[in-house]
Structure 1
C-alpha cells in the first residue's frame, strides 16, 4: 500500500528532495475550498458590527490612554451619557482630525515603502501552488530587510537634519490614526470594485458588504510587488517600530534619558520588524498569502489596527512620568529574557523543503536550529505534507504561542499602571484561537482521515498541555 493512502510518517531531507504533487482527490477538495461554502464572523451583520465597532474602540482606548491617565472611563449615570459622548467626540474632532500633516506623513510612508519594494533587489522566493491559478506558483521578491534598513537610515537622516523630527510621530498619534483608518476603508472598497471590474474575484458570497470585508482579490500585485505581503510587513510593523523610537526620542527630550521600559519596547518592536524582514521568504507559505483574500479584514488591520493598538504601552510611557512604571532590576531581567526566548521560537522552512525550493538565506540575526533537518511528516492523500517534528510535534501552531508571549510582554512592560496596553495580548489570543478554528476546520475538510491521524500525533491545537 502506498504512503499516500496510509498517511504514514516520513522524513524529508533538508534540501527538499521529493517535491509535493497535488492528487486528483486533492484538486477536487481545493475546488470546494475555493468556493463560498458559508459565512464567517457572523455573516453580513457581524462584519458590519466589526467594521464600526473596532474604529470606535480604537478612538476610545486612545482617548483613555492619553487624556484620562490610562484608565477606562465611562458614564456614571444615565444623565452623564450625552456629556460623556460629547467629550469623546470633541477629542476625536480636535485631537484626531485628519489634518494635512498626518496625510503627508502617512501617505509619504506608503509611497516610500512602495518605492523601496519596487526598486531594491531581493531574494526570489517561490510560493505555494495556487489552486485558483491552476496550481501556478507565484514568485515573491523578498527585499523587506533592505527596505527596513533603508527606512531606518532615512528616518535617522531626517531626524538629525531637523527635516522630520521623530518625536512628532507620537505627538500626532491621533491625527495619524484617523488617516490610517481612512486608508483602511478606502483601499478595502477600492480593491473590491477594482477586482470585480477586472473579473478576478474569487470565493464570493453575493453579499456586498461581506465580500468587501473578506475581500475579492487573492493575489493583488503592482508589478513585482505582492500587495498582501507588502502591507503585512512594510506598513504596520514599520509604524509600530517608529512609534517606539518616537516615544524614546520624546523621553530623551523631556528627561534627558530613556527608561529601560522604553528601551524594551524599542528592542521588542525592532525584533518583530526585523524577524518579518529576515524571514520574509517564509511568508509566501502562510495562510495569509495562500488562502486569505485581501479585504477589509486584512487591509484595515494592517493599515490602522496593528500600528495603532499594539503599541499602547509606548503611548502611555510617552505621556506619563516614568515613576508610574519603574521596576526592580530582576523584573527587567525577567522581561528581557522572556522576550528574547519567545523571539527565538521562529518559523520552520518545512513547506519550502517539501517543495524542493528551500535554500539557506543568511540574514542578520540568524539563530541556530531555525530549520529542522530531516523533519518527520505525514503524507496526505491530498498531496501535501503535515509536519510532526520540532516545536510542531507538541503544538499545531507553536509560532502562535511565541507571538502571543511576546505580545504579553508588551503589556507587562508597564506593570499595573494601565490596563489598556494589555489590549494587544487579550485581543491577539482571541484572534489566534479563532484563526486556529478557521484553519483547522479547513484542514479537516481538505485532508479528511489524514487530518485525524495528524491530530492523534499532534494533540495540542495551540498551547501545549493547555489547549
Structure 2
C-alpha cells in the first residue's frame, strides 16, 4: 500500500517535470494519497475485515499487495505521465470535492459500525439510539458468541454501503484522464468486480454464520450494495 502511494507521487512529480503544472496529475495524486492515509489511519479496523479474517496472509493477499496493487492500481497516475490533461480550476475543485466526500463517507461508515460494536450499542447513530440485531452463533471450539448487526445510519441503506463511496472515489480519481481510453479505468473496473464478488461472498458467509439472525437482518436491509439496484 505504501508503494502505491509513493508511485503515485513519483508519477505526479514526473508529470510536473515534463509539462510543468498539471492539475490532472495533482488531483489524482492528492486523492490517492488521502485515501491511503485514511487506510493507514484505520488500519486497526482492517484487521477485522474479510481479507484478514477469511482470506488471511496467503498467496492471494501477499502477492496482491506486493505485486498487483503497486503495478496496476497506479495506472490512473501512470497514464497521465504520457497523456497529460488540463482540467481547469472549476473541474479541479469539483473532482477534489467529490473525492474528499467519498473518502470521508467511506471512513465514517466503517467507523460507525466499529463504534457501535465497541460500545456494545450504547451510543448514538445520527442522533438516535442505534437499531441492532444481536446475532448469536457458535465458535469452532463450541463456545457461544454474539455479534451486533447494525440496522441504523449508513447500514440501514445497504448491507455493504461502504463500497459505494469507495467505487465513486476510484472512478472520480480516474476521470482526470478523460474518457478516450479504457486503461486508466482498469482499477475502477477491477475494484467493481472485486467488491461485487466480495459482497456475495460475505453474504454467504454471514448466512452460514448467523442463520436466522442474518435472515432477519436481510429483511430489514434488503439491498447488498446499491439501493434499488443490487
TM-score interval, smaller chain: 0.7 to 0.9
- Return closer, same or farther for 1:317/1:402 CA change in 2, 3 Å cut-off: same
- 1:390-433 CA-partner distances (Å, limit 9, x unpaired): 11110111111111111111321111242101111111111101
- 1:265-321 CA-partner distances (Å, limit 9, x unpaired): 22111111110122222122222222222212111111111111112121111123x
Give 1:344's match in structure 2, choosing from 104, 107, 111.
104
> Is residue 391–residue 398 contact of structure 1 (8 Å, CA) maintained in 2?
yes
Consecutive unaligned residues in structure 1, runs of 5 or more = 1-235, 359-368
- Return closer, same or farther for 1:393/1:245 CA change in 2, 3 Å cut-off: same
- Return closer, same or farther for 1:370/1:453 CA change in 2, 3 Å cut-off: closer
How far the C-alpha of 1:328 sits from its partner, in A, is 4.3
Pairing 1:436-451 to 2, within 5 Å after superposition: 436-451=199-214
Within 1, Cα distance between the matches of 2:125 and 2:186? 30
Within 1, Cα distance between the matches of 2:114 and 2:79? 40
The count of residues paired between Structure 1 and Structure 2 equals: 217
- Return closer, same or farther for 1:329/1:284 CA change in 2, 3 Å cut-off: same
Give 1:399's match in structure 2, choosing from 157, 162, 165.
162
How far the C-alpha of 1:357 sits from its partner, in A, is 8.8
> Is residue 282–residue 349 contact of structure 1 (8 Å, CA) maintained in 2?
no
Residue 245, structure 1, aligned to residue 9, structure 2: yes
> Is residue 247–residue 318 contact of structure 1 (8 Å, CA) maintained in 2?
yes
Within 1, Cα distance between the matches of 2:34 and 2:67? 20
Within 1, Cα distance between the matches of 2:226 and 2:170? 15
Pairing 1:284-433 to 2, within 5 Å after superposition: 284-320=47-83, 322=84, 325-345=85-105, 346=107, 347-351=110-114, 353-356=116-119, 374-382=129-137, 383-433=146-196
How far the C-alpha of 1:386 sits from its partner, in A, is 0.5
Give 1:457's match in structure 2, choosing from 217, 220, 224.
220
- 1:86-131 CA-partner distances (Å, limit 9, x unpaired): xxxxxxxxxxxxxxxxxxxxxxxxxxxxxxxxxxxxxxxxxxxxxx
> Is residue 159–residue 221 contact of structure 2 (8 Å, CA) maintained in 1?
yes
Within 1, Cα distance between the matches of 2:112 and 2:154? 12
How far the C-alpha of 1:374 sits from its partner, in A, is 3.8
- Return closer, same or farther for 1:338/1:355 CA change in 2, 3 Å cut-off: closer
Pairing 1:219-298 to 2, within 5 Å after superposition: 236=1, 238-255=2-19, 257-298=20-61
Pairing 1:100-115 to 2, within 5 Å after superposition: none
Within 2, Cα distance between the matches of 1:271 and 1:331? 19
Within 2, Cα distance between the matches of 1:457 and 1:264? 39
> Is residue 395–residue 460 contact of structure 1 (8 Å, CA) maintained in 2?
yes
How far the C-alpha of 1:242 sits from its partner, in A, is 1.2
- Return closer, same or farther for 1:300/1:373 CA change in 2, 3 Å cut-off: farther
> Is residue 335–residue 409 contact of structure 1 (8 Å, CA) maintained in 2?
yes
RMSD of aligned alpha carbons? 2.3
Consecutive unaligned residues in structure 2, runs of 5 or more = 138-145
Alignment-derived partner of residue 141 in structure 2: none
Secondary structure, aligned partner of 2:149: strand
Within 2, Cα distance between the matches of 1:303 and 1:372? 42
How far the C-alpha of 1:243 sits from its partner, in A, is 1.3
> Is residue 285–residue 351 contact of structure 1 (8 Å, CA) maintained in 2?
no
